[in-house]
Amino acid sequence: MNQKFKIGVFGALLFFSAFSLKSQDYNNAAQLAARLKQLASSSPDVKLESITKTDGGKDIWMLTIGKGDVDNKPAMAVVGGVEGSHLLGVEMAVRFAEGLVKDHPKALENSTFYVFPNMSPDATEQYFAKLKYQRSGNAKPTDDDRDGKLNEDPFEDLNGDGMITWMRVEDATGDWITHPADDRIMIKANKTEGEKGKYKIFSEGMDNDKDGAFNEDGEGGIHFNKNLTYDYPYFEAGAGEHSVSEKENRALLDMLYTKWNLYGVFTFGPGNNLSSPWKYNRAGASKRVVTSILEDDAALNKLASDTYNKATGLKNSPPSVEQGGDFIQWAYFHFGRLSLGTPGWWAPTVKEDSTMKANKDKNLEVNFVRWAAQEKLDNYFVDWKEISHPDFPSQKVEVGGIAPFKMNNPPLALAENAFKKNVDFIVDLAAMQADLQLVNLKSEAVGKGMTRITVDVYNGGALPTHTDMGTRSRWLRPVKVEMMIGKGQEIISGRRIQMVNNIKGDGAVQFTWLVKGSGSVQIEAGAPHAGTDKVSVNLK
């Protein structure tokens, strides 16, 4: 076999390997690792490392993508898998990394991207397990009901279909009814409009510890998206004993806090301030512990939102889920960076026809089952089926509901357009990053061996150098403007080093010095997350 033939065979194997890893379904932990290693080996601009291992022995991977001195270029972090049942978020993050390297190499000239594909690998692995249920927590044993026992009340597959769905129990004291547009879907009765509940709803299983609650202490551990410091939900199941208690949370924050070049964090998850931006609230913004986005940052969020909606064409998004202890709010309120998030995809709104009952309240589950039927998806719903249940010996009990993972994780082929549009948006957003330049340089002799030097520090990007929250937190490094002089030179007026807290997009700040001496001086202005520029000035 000649050398050229060997190379051709090897290249073909790589191609088909990439295709097989990416094509049909979501990746388990081993497949994801192989896919990331392949991406890293395909380009000198990609570095892959594991920043920690979870209690379940899964790697938390980090991709660094960029050219040259990556840690001294403005950077964005892209994070997936913040919610363990949202495998689409993992795929979105990986597709971003792959699309960036393949289709947007120019973006790496001026920007660095740190990609963390999956922050919940213990939870996402449940998608591939024999028993499927939507899981958010890691592999740490927990006492969620605080009875001194660990994981003693798990799910049970009562109808033997390999999935955990719901139980509806006919009970006049219940709060639930069937949806008027589709009796497969359960909703809370609106008692203010005279509706009376007919059912109680429980997750599929048994009351093993006989405390009246079902499946409240099974395998599920700590939720990554409940374990951050902002608005931490103390004593809630899944939140952990204290904030940032988990290896994966601490490893991510430890890494991010070393990256002074980060200006933004993009999250693929249930938090969505791109379809609908966060709203400014004066009272919340005026508190000692701020609970509202600040006013100028709200305008910045709206700019990003308008751009996203126009670029992606995604409409009728589900409500944003920010539950406290979540990552998207931490990245803004406690990390001080531009923080943007989206699920990346949701089921399109189905146009109603004469065969459908009106979905007057625009119920998302009703829309999903209609869309799934329209797309001819398999196994998206478990039809309600009556069972005998020992905890309800004299009541009608049925098991059924939307199948786990299906509603938020579509077949990959149906999300292809969304993958590309999200990649393109993040690249376009990075092109808007702050870009500090020294412009309008003037020098003039004023007599007695002195030169007056004037220069504008101009931000040529559309984004500001700092969010207002970052300025308030004092965590982001300010813009440093420095006049560097040599032997025999003296600054008569103006400070040698000056700090600027923020320069708006397309904004500038002017500086003037009076320098005595001959030769040349250097002026440098910049911040790790906003770029640096330097000029040399000859003294008159």
- My answer on whether 115 and 246 are in the same domain is yes
Q: In whole angstroms, give the CA distance from residue 511 to residue 533.
A: 14
Q: In whole angstroms, give the CA distance from residue 423 to residue 104.
A: 9
pLDDT band at 467 (very low <50, low <70, confident <90, very high): very high
- My answer on whether 108 and 230 are in the same domain is yes
Reported as a single tens digit per residue, the pLDDT across 439-463 is 999 999 999 999 999 999 999 999 9
Instruction: Give yes or no for residue 18 having a pLDDT over 70.
Output: no
Q: CA 53: distance to chain centroid?
A: 20
Instruction: Give yes or no for residue 5 having a pLDDT over 60.
Output: no
Look at residue 6 and tell me if it is in a domain. no
Question: Helix, strand or coil for residue 482?
Answer: strand
Look at residue 3 and tell me if it is in a domain. no
Reported as a single tens digit per residue, the pLDDT across 357-410 is 999 999 999 999 999 999 999 999 999 999 999 999 999 999 999 999 999 999
Look at residue 12 and tell me if it is in a domain. no
The per-residue pLDDT for 214 is 62
- My answer on whether 268 and 318 are in the same domain is yes
pLDDT band at 38 (very low <50, low <70, confident <90, very high): very high
pTM given for the model: 0.92
What whole-number percentage of the chain has pLDDT above 70? 92
Cβ-contact 281, 294 below 8 angstroms: no
Mean pLDDT over the full length of the chain: 92
Q: Which of 19-28, 123-132, 352-361 has the lowest mean pLDDT?
A: 19-28
- My answer on whether 527 and 458 are in the same domain is yes
Cβ-contact 138, 123 below 8 angstroms: yes
Look at residue 207 and tell me if it is in a domain. yes
Dihedral angle over CA of 458, 459, 465, 467, nearest 10: 110
User: Domain holding 517: CATH number?
Assistant: 2.60.40.10
- My answer on whether 225 and 83 are in the same domain is yes
- My answer on whether 331 and 253 are in the same domain is yes
User: Domain holding 81: CATH number?
Assistant: 3.40.630.10
Look at residue 10 and tell me if it is in a domain. no
Instruction: Give yes or no for residue 154 having a pLDDT over 90.
Output: no
- My answer on whether 309 and 284 are in the same domain is yes
Select the more confidently predicted residue: 219 or 94.
Answer: 94
- My answer on whether 464 and 423 are in the same domain is no
Question: Helix, strand or coil for residue 76?
Answer: strand
Residues belonging to the chain: 540
Q: CA 525: distance to chain centroid?
A: 31
Instruction: Give yes or no for residue 10 having a pLDDT over 50.
Output: no
- My answer on whether 81 and 157 are in the same domain is no
- My answer on whether 92 and 237 are in the same domain is yes
Look at residue 20 and tell me if it is in a domain. no
Q: In whole angstroms, give the CA distance from residue 81 to residue 120.
A: 5
Instruction: Give yes or no for residue 6 having a pLDDT over 50.
Output: no
The strand pairing partners of 65, in sequence order, are 46, 113
Q: In whole angstroms, give the CA distance from residue 75 to residue 265.
A: 9
Reported as a single tens digit per residue, the pLDDT across 485-502 is 999 999 999 999 999 999
Measured in degrees and rounded to the nearest 5, phi and psi for residue 459 equal: -95, 105
pLDDT band at 171 (very low <50, low <70, confident <90, very high): very high
Q: Is 207 exposed, middle or buried (0-12, 13-18, 19+ CB in 10 A)?
A: middle
Q: Which of 276, 252, 283 is nearest to 265 (CA)?
A: 252
Instruction: Give yes or no for residue 33 having a pLDDT over 90.
Output: yes
**Of 395, 430, 465, which marks where a domain is finished?**
430
Q: Please name the residue ranges forming H helices in 343-461.
A: 364-374, 416-430
**Of 371, 395, 430, which marks where a domain is finished?**
430
- My answer on whether 486 and 499 are in the same domain is yes
Range of the domain at 226: 28-127+221-346+410-430
- My answer on whether 118 and 228 are in the same domain is yes
Look at residue 13 and tell me if it is in a domain. no
Could you give the number of structural domains in the chain? 3
Look at residue 361 and tell me if it is in a domain. yes
